[in-house]
Structure 1
Amino acid sequence: MKKCILFFLLLLITISEYSHLIAQNVRGSEMPTLVIHGGAGTILKENLTSQEEQAYHDKLKEALNAGYEILNVGGTSEEAVITAIMIMEDSPLFNAGKGAVFTNEGTNEMDASIMNGGNGSAGAIAGVKTIKNPILAAQAVKNNSDHVMLSGAGAEKFAKDQNLDLVDPSYFFTESRKQQLKKLQKAEKSKEEGSIQKWNDYKYGTVGAVALDKNGNICAATSTGGMTNKKYGRIGDSPVIGAGTFANKICGVSATGHGEYFIRNVVAYDIAAKMEYKKVSLGAAAEEVILDKLKAIGGSGGVIALDAKGNISMTFNTPGMYRGYIQKESKPMTFIYKQEY
């Protein structure tokens, strides 16, 4: 009998630990809150040096502190997510803006979107090559146009008309991303499946932010360089409202992962819909979509999500996701690997 009880207790501990390893939910306190991500993927501790780890933690904390400073003085959730994402777009560490990955043709093509949960307004841009901060262009589409999404040359012309910073495409060049492209193309050419799997982070990246301000308004935003070696003007989920980004009065969501799966399953909206119609918690909704529904069909990635009470979910089905949150000034919490909580 004692052995049975001991086995049962060990089973409960194992289940509880496993739950922590795959989902991270933080109870809110209805105060201004900011949660961010810097991409999900095959992020393993053995593949990062301690210096690289620290660099990611430092940049995530910089973005969190800057965004929260705006919330702390009464700024809006939209201002906070824009500020946080711009810091990550300006860093070569992340697959967005300065650190964007290369396409098959050796160019950088970026996508971004933003949605304000208070009034349902949304804006997005896709396939742009010269806009320094794509998230600002997405915001401009939302605020200053009659449209939701603009793409390519038209989006760049619009950005110019909006007096946004345009740069030469060479601004986005980073040697590490160039090498990433070369290695993937070499593996693809040789058709060595093992080599391709070794570089399976080609389909991950993206940065995102979701904020709750003192007025209870939620805003979500996402920015990405897309998929390494992408062809034919491929566009993923990041600029697609409802797939990579969604916000309403109930919650806000920003996604990262293999975009095709997130588009087909309208992941960001699906989480909000489960909360609204099934009356489940934010954490339960995110886990059902990411850990059950998406994983069952081979979709890999994760989300950050935030509800109107300040509850946070950082749920992913990959080995790691750069992520963090802040609910109190000067106390940003950041994480990289699955085992951290």
Structure 2
Amino acid sequence: MFPRLTLRVAILAALLGAPGLLQAQTSPTATAAPVDASRITLVIHGGAGTITRALMTPEKEKAYQEALNQALDMGYAVLKRGGTALDAVEASVRFMEDSPLFNAGKGAVFTHEGRNELDAAIMDGRTLAAGSIAGVTVVRNPITAARAVMEKSEHVLLTGPGAEQFAREKGVDIVPPSYFYTEARHQQLEKALAAERKPGTPDQLNAPSTEIKKPEKVKIKQKPGKPQGTVLPENQIFTEGKKYGTVGAVALDQFGNLAAATSTGGMTNKRYGRVGDAPIIGCGTYADNQSCAVSCTGWGEYFIRATVARDIAARMEYGQQPLQQAAQATIDKVAKLGGDGGLIAVDQAGNITLPFNSEGMYRAYIRGNGERQVLIYKQ
């Protein structure tokens, strides 16, 4: 009896010691080793567009600087305590979704019909798992719903009422549509509709009534300890234009894994259930440990046609181009097509790039040594 038991113990010990066997079944976070801060990198963006110093007041600039710093802090805290790149990008994007300053979540723009329709995507560079949602109207944090699609379903992309039903079933925070109302975004829609009604405008006859009912505003309690930052009056929130305004994050964690996340309210005055590049894997969002993690912002139709996020990864993987060269070449391709915008990207070595061809792009990064920078305009 005892020799047989001893043999079983020996076999079990050998199996547990086999290289890769236990590791394949263990989460990267299941480690007692100290965090290797030298590998940590986090990059975020808050949208691209006509962002110039001439259009920015000191109060606006301060508000955006603070919000970007706080979004960095949310994701960086995850990485510093040994969390994954996936957790970090979700944390940073959630913060920006909860801010009315950005065209995502709470600050989403209005559609032609006066709704707020939200899109988001997230991707794990370690496994190539991905999840995205599009056209949802009641999901407070679309990025968390996108992650639920990735981790709790066999699908990649869910849309509309189906995506909302899935989010409810998985316990994602649901809010009334009125939660997303902001006066600044409503004014944006009014201006777009007024321009549409001018004589000679092709869509003049399809414009809805200007009497878009303002829904009752809903107050949502903030979670304890959540940084608040500078609060601007809603009519002072910066307007980035009808084709821009997306938030995103890319990260490299101590385990050498990459992740990307993107969230958006889409285009002001968009119609027909239009979906841009943000929730389309390989266009506005992509991550692969073999190349890079990318999150895009800009004129979505062109980013879809150029498959921007995957194109950068492919240039690195097949053409052996360094990250910065690959990203710039792809942005140049978008420009040649007639589109504009920008992106953020990081590779497994911690190299980063933040190219754009618009007037400005809200962007920031932080490294493991604490080095950080927040940028808004063309330098």
Determine if the alignment matches structure 1 residue 154 to structure 2 residue 194: no
1:57/1:191 Cα in 2 relative to 1: closer, same or farther (>3 Å)? farther
Aligned ranges 1:17-32 → 2 under 5 Å: 31-32=39-40
| Counterpart among 221, 233, 237 of residue 273 in structure 2 | 233
Determine if the alignment matches structure 1 residue 182 to structure 2 residue 223: no
SS of residue paired to 1:201: coil
Deviation (angstroms), 1:332: 2.9
SS of residue paired to 1:226: coil
Q: Whole-Å Cα distance in 2 between the matches of residues 312 and 287 of structure 1? A: 12
Residues 72 and 329 of structure 1 are in contact (CA less than 8 Å); yes or no, is this contact kept in structure 2?
A: no
Amino acid of the structure 2 residue aligned with 1:260: E
Aligned ranges 1:24-173 → 2 under 5 Å: 31-173=39-181
Q: Whole-Å Cα distance in 1 between the matches of residues 170 and 125 of structure 2? A: 24
1:75/1:43 Cα in 2 relative to 1: closer, same or farther (>3 Å)? same
Determine if the alignment matches structure 1 residue 275 to structure 2 residue 316: yes
Shifted more, 321-330 versus 242-251: the winner is 321-330
Deviation (angstroms), 1:200: 7.8
Q: Whole-Å Cα distance in 2 between the matches of residues 188 and 131 of structure 1? A: 30
Query: Aligned-pair RMSD on alpha carbons?
Result: 1.4
SS of residue paired to 1:93: coil
Deviation (angstroms), 1:81: 0.3
Judging by fraction of residues, say which structure has more helix: 1
Q: Whole-Å Cα distance in 2 between the matches of residues 295 and 222 of structure 1? A: 21
Q: Deviations over 1:84-103 (max 9, x none)?
A: 00000000000000000000
Which residue number in structure 2 is paired with residue 336 of structure 1?
376
Deviation (angstroms), 1:184: 1.2
Which residue number in structure 2 is paired with residue 210 of structure 1?
250
Q: Deviations over 1:87-135 (max 9, x none)?
A: 0000000000000000000000000000100000000000000000000
Which residue number in structure 1 is paired with residue 30 of structure 2?
none
Unaligned 5+ runs, structure 1: 1-28, 194-198
Q: Deviations over 1:163-201 (max 9, x none)?
A: 1110000000000000011111111221589xxxxx881
Residues 69 and 329 of structure 1 are in contact (CA less than 8 Å); yes or no, is this contact kept in structure 2?
A: no
SS of residue paired to 2:43: strand
Which residue number in structure 2 is paired with residue 299 of structure 1?
339
Q: Whole-Å Cα distance in 2 between the matches of residues 191 and 270 of structure 1? A: 41
Q: Whole-Å Cα distance in 2 between the matches of residues 186 and 279 of structure 1? A: 49
1:192/1:308 Cα in 2 relative to 1: closer, same or farther (>3 Å)? farther
Residues 34 and 68 of structure 1 are in contact (CA less than 8 Å); yes or no, is this contact kept in structure 2?
A: yes
Length-normalised TM-score, structure 1: 0.87
Residues 38 and 369 of structure 2 are in contact (CA less than 8 Å); yes or no, is this contact kept in structure 1?
A: no
Residues 114 and 123 of structure 1 are in contact (CA less than 8 Å); yes or no, is this contact kept in structure 2?
A: yes
Residues 41 and 319 of structure 1 are in contact (CA less than 8 Å); yes or no, is this contact kept in structure 2?
A: yes
Deviation (angstroms), 1:308: 0.3
Which residue number in structure 2 is paired with residue 221 of structure 1?
261
- Equivalent pairs counted in the alignment come to 305
Q: Whole-Å Cα distance in 2 between the matches of residues 287 and 140 of structure 1? A: 32
Q: Whole-Å Cα distance in 1 between the matches of residues 78 and 369 of structure 2? A: 11
Q: Whole-Å Cα distance in 2 between the matches of residues 293 and 241 of structure 1? A: 19
Q: Whole-Å Cα distance in 2 between the matches of residues 138 and 200 of structure 1? A: 25
Amino acid of the structure 2 residue aligned with 1:258: W
Q: Deviations over 1:249-296 (max 9, x none)?
A: 120000000000011110000000001111111000011010x21111
Amino acid of the structure 1 residue aligned with 2:298: G
Amino acid of the structure 1 residue aligned with 2:106: K
Residues 43 and 251 of structure 2 are in contact (CA less than 8 Å); yes or no, is this contact kept in structure 1?
A: yes
Residues 30 and 309 of structure 1 are in contact (CA less than 8 Å); yes or no, is this contact kept in structure 2?
A: no
Q: Whole-Å Cα distance in 1 between the matches of residues 116 and 199 of structure 2? A: 25
Deviation (angstroms), 1:248: 0.3
**Identical aligned residues as a percent:** 56
Q: Whole-Å Cα distance in 2 between the matches of residues 135 and 33 of structure 1? A: 20
Unaligned 5+ runs, structure 2: 1-36, 202-238
Q: Whole-Å Cα distance in 1 between the matches of residues 370 and 316 of structure 2? A: 31
SS of residue paired to 1:127: strand
Deviation (angstroms), 1:333: 1.1
Structure 1 residue ranges, 4+ long, deviating more than 2 angstroms after superposition: 328-332
Q: Whole-Å Cα distance in 2 between the matches of residues 304 and 218 of structure 1? A: 13
SS of residue paired to 1:118: coil
SS of residue paired to 2:48: strand
